[in-house]
Structure 1
Amino acid sequence: MNSQLEQISSRIKELREILELSAEEVAQKVGIPADTYLEYENAKADIPIGVLYDCAAVLKVDPAELLTGEAPRMTEYTIVRNGKGVAVERYAGYAFHSLALNFIGRKMDPMIVTLTPKDQPPELVSHAGQEFNYVLEGTIVVTTQGHEFVLHEGDSIYFNPKPLHGQRAVGGTARFLTIICD
């Protein structure tokens, strides 16, 4: 497991203990089995982004605190210079650069995602809210609700991310802007 996952898992466990919640209570509130939750909390399995956001809600913190260990500080605006977004590695083959983690109370999470090509289908994830993907370069295949959509540079998709979904690069590295909203 990577050190970032271990740090995130450690933060979740520490906050849970500070709030005097049992692992079973958090698992129930998040809507997953307790043994699955414990795998996430002990860094034995990668935490899906939707579960991470649900844990943040249960623990009453901004997801940025779980991801980076720091609370957002800006209330009026935040600027991220070219190439300076907070790097978040969540899944193999995905590199996220968050563009708004420092904004308190944000209603959306814009990120630049870089995908390296893989031969196998993408890992499918689920989370609440709405999601928008805009391809900046390359070609991606978006899988959602049993359909595959091929998107090229300049194409976009707006969809319900609650059903299992995922993206993969085809024919080389691809980059896209994703915006996840409440």
Structure 2
Amino acid sequence: MSHKPDDIIARVRELREILGLSQEEVADKLGIALDTFRQYETGQQSIPISTLNAVAELFHVDFTVLLTGDMPRMENYSLVRKGEGVKVERFPGYDFQSLAFNFKNRSMEPMLVSLDEYDDDKAPALVTHTGQEFNLVLAGKIKIVLGKHEFELGEGDSFYFDPRIPHGQRAVGGPAKFLTVINN
């Protein structure tokens, strides 16, 4: 099951309008520039996962609602078979699968991230968010930028960090896959 960024953008805009919130109010409550939020809503800029989580919290909906338009249904467990997670293509060369999308009231968000290698000039801006984050490289190599530090991780390497520090991940030497778990 694959979802396009345009679908997510439409849900964010629709929920904002249903709640009677202006773009200015949402940008202010998220702590981001109004122009940045407008770029998110028009698809000119990719919405970071951390911002989607913050939007879900602000709108009092589950993250899954933004991804799929549906509410999660499972209370005791959620089984997601290989390749059946909710797949979101954030931008060319970066997609993720939500691996617990159907579990109600999650306190963490496990995702399988696939990255293609890209040039430094095409690297997305570093992001910040609340909570804690864990990354485990499953295939290939990734470079993690955390503030002023850079770490190269290979298959089997893991990294646990404070995501309030500006950070980002990218593939090195070819495509890469990693598991990321973000707790809210």
TM-score by length of structure 2 reads: 0.91
Q: 1:173 to 1:44 in 2, by over 3 A?
A: closer
Q: Specify the code of the residue in structure 1 equivalent to 2:92.
A: A
2:44 maps to: 44
Tell me, in whole angstroms, the C-alpha distance in 2 between the residues paired with 1:36 and 1:76. 38
2:67 maps to: 67
Are 1:111 and 2:81 counterparts? no
- The gaps in structure 1 that reach 5 residues or longer are none
Tell me, in whole angstroms, the C-alpha distance in 1 between the residues paired with 2:104 and 2:90. 22
- The gaps in structure 2 that reach 5 residues or longer are none
Q: How does 1:140-151 map to 2 (within 5 A)?
A: 140-151=142-153
Q: Specify the code of the residue in structure 2 equivalent to 1:60.
A: H
1:101 maps to: 101
- The count of aligned residue pairs is 180
Tell me, in whole angstroms, the C-alpha distance in 2 between the residues paired with 1:15 and 1:119. 35
TM-score by length of structure 1 reads: 0.92
Deviates more, 1:19-28 or 1:141-150: 19-28
Instruction: Kindly report the root-mean-square deviation, in angstroms, between the aligned alpha carbons of the 2 structures.
Output: 1.5
For residues 80-134 of structure 1, what are the alpha-carbon distances to aligned partners after superposition, in whole Å with 9 as ceiling and x for unaligned? Answer: 0112111111133212111101111101111111111123264222221111011
Q: Specify the code of the residue in structure 2 equivalent to 1:162.
A: R
Helix, strand or coil: the match of 1:11? helix
2:175 maps to: 173
Do the aligned partners of 2:67 and 2:86 also contact (CA within 8 Å) in 1?
no
Q: Specify the code of the residue in structure 2 equivalent to 1:130.
A: Q
Deviation at 1:33, TM superposition (A): 2.2
Helix, strand or coil: the match of 1:32? coil
Tell me, in whole angstroms, the C-alpha distance in 2 between the residues paired with 1:78 and 1:8. 22
For residues 32-70 of structure 1, what are the alpha-carbon distances to aligned partners after superposition, in whole Å with 9 as ceiling and x for unaligned? Answer: 122322221222321122221111111111111111111
Deviates more, 1:91-100 or 1:141-150: 91-100
1:127 maps to: 129
Q: Specify the code of the residue in structure 2 equivalent to 1:128.
A: T
Moved over 6 A (4+): none
2:19 maps to: 19
Q: Specify the code of the residue in structure 2 equivalent to 1:172.
A: G
Tell me, in whole angstroms, the C-alpha distance in 2 between the residues paired with 1:21 and 1:166. 30
